[in-house]
Amino acid sequence: MFYLKSPLFHCPLVELQLSKRNFDLTWLCTAPSITTYRVNLLQTTTECYKDYVENLLKGRYKSSPKIYTLSDLPEVLCIGSVSTPETLKPSMIEQREIIVDDCCGAAVLRGAHIYAVGVLAMESGTKLHDIVNVYADLTGKCKKGTNIRFESDKKLYLGQGRVLMQRYQLFGASGAKTGIAVEMLNTVSSVPSIGDLSSAKALLQNLPSIVCVRVLNPQKNEIILDMCAAPGNKTTHIAELMEDKGVILALDKTVNRIALIEEKIKKYNLNSINVYAYDATKSFNGKLNSESSNEIKPPFKAETFDRVLLDAPCSGLGNRPILVVKTTAKMLDSYPKIQRKLVSNAVALLKPGGCLVYSTCSINTSENEEIVAWALAKHSNLELKEAVPIFGSRALPCQGLTERQRDMLQRFSPDTKKFDTVGFFIAKFVKKPI
């Protein structure tokens, strides 16, 4: 059986570059052992939502996974792993196979069921409610609609599922293209296969993303900028912590992604968020002054915001599990240039004494520690603050950062002992008063 050791087998130069920095690439291929939901405390309580999840899991598993809360993050509900059957391996020749793409495969390892759009191949003769072995094609060579067993030395076994749609429904000219095609029963990752339970009461969200907004520490009646806001998970979290009292400006340059934020605002019935399709690298206009219009819309004049969240565009080399990465060294080097532009805009837009939180979902030091060192050298009015509450590990060694500064940063990586989650990085700055 094929075991994935690196998601970068298509791009050996990048793999070599990251390996030289001692990154554990195998860790990126595995799913986090905890699943986290952010409970909307404006709608319900964590205990009520915990009761709901416990009842759901009791009906699905003989031995339910551990479900627990975190005292420092009262809006978080954690779900642990389930016991994976020792017999969970593709040894039964009589079982037919389903092939999915790598994106769908990663979602399955995080607990998702398989939607119709993710199915690449289903063997002829597969019947409704059959138990099937599920694989992910990591080569990209499996053609949509394949009806024979797909043979490859790079197909990754994911687990077993129950068929809910037949071939004609998946691949027919007038067949359904939406809905769950295969209900996952168990996976090799041991993550509970429960799908996404997100609703107006709670949202499936990675733990570091939740911690990130807590580090920002938004307060009621403040004016806050979320520079790269889509899909809106952190934006809505900010609004909830502010009890929907204040002004939040959410930017994203892609119109389609803006629609995702607007959908969440409507779903959660929030009034404090104003959304704009705008390039955040151009969000500061130095020509505007105190005599300019007081209407808060992009581009903004200097010192407009009490707090700025910059969850920067990044390589995404932290979104576990990553099964396939197709990038180049040139693409990897392009992210820090954009991140620096965004940081400079954020500093200009921040009020004296205001707070800037910078984050990425990448393990790459050039997008994290090196950006912090650059920001402190470039902007003398920035001061690094401890990124509390701390759930991650200290930052990696970096030229320009002291040992004390490494302690003030927060990195989620293989050495984060308490929480096995995605790769992430958080830094907190304060703009010094004049």
CB atoms within 10 A of CB 153: 7
Q: Are strands 223-226 and 305-311 parallel, antiparallel or unpaired?
A: parallel
Q: Does 345 appear as a known binding residue?
A: no
Give 74-92 as a DSSP string: EEEEEE---PPPTT-SS--
Between the alpha carbon of residue 45 and those of residues 51, 75, 144, the distances in Å are 10, 8, 44
- The reply to whether omega before 299 is within 30° of 0 (cis) is yes
Say whether 361 is catalytic: yes
Q: Does 311 appear as a known binding residue?
A: yes
Q: Are strands 247-252 and 223-226 parallel, antiparallel or unpaired?
A: parallel
103: phi then psi, degrees, rounded to nearest 5? -65, -45
What are residue 79's DSSP bridge partners?
Answer: 35, 67
- Contact criterion met (CB below 8 Å) for 372 and 397: no
Distance CA 65, CA 96 (A): 29
Between the alpha carbon of residue 326 and those of residues 8, 317, 338, 372, the distances in Å are 7, 11, 20, 27
Q: Does 232 appear as a known binding residue?
A: yes
Running DSSP on this structure, what letter comes out for residue 117?
G
Q: Does 72 appear as a known binding residue?
A: no
Q: Encoding tokens for residue 80?
A: 């642990």
Q: Are strands 305-311 and 410-412 parallel, antiparallel or unpaired?
A: unpaired
- Contact criterion met (CB below 8 Å) for 66 and 80: yes
Distance CA 259, CA 273 (A): 13
Q: Encoding tokens for residue 45?
A: 């309580």
> What contacts 24+ positions apart, CB below 8 Å, involve 413-420?
413/24, 413/27, 413/363, 414/24, 414/27, 416/391, 416/392, 417/393, 418/391, 419/34, 419/207, 419/391, 419/392, 420/32, 420/33, 420/34
Q: Does 231 appear as a known binding residue?
A: yes
Select which of 11, 142, 361, 398 is catalytic.
361
Looking at the chain, the number of H-run helices and the number of E-run strands are: 11, 18
Distance CA 342, CA 228 (A): 9
Q: Does 230 appear as a known binding residue?
A: yes
- Contact criterion met (CB below 8 Å) for 126 and 167: yes
Between the alpha carbon of residue 380 and those of residues 186, 202, 316, 349, 367, the distances in Å are 53, 40, 29, 15, 20
Which residues are part of a known binding site?
A: 228-234, 252, 279, 311
Active site residues: 361
Which residues are part of a known binding site for S-adenosyl-L-methionine?
A: 228-234, 252, 279, 311
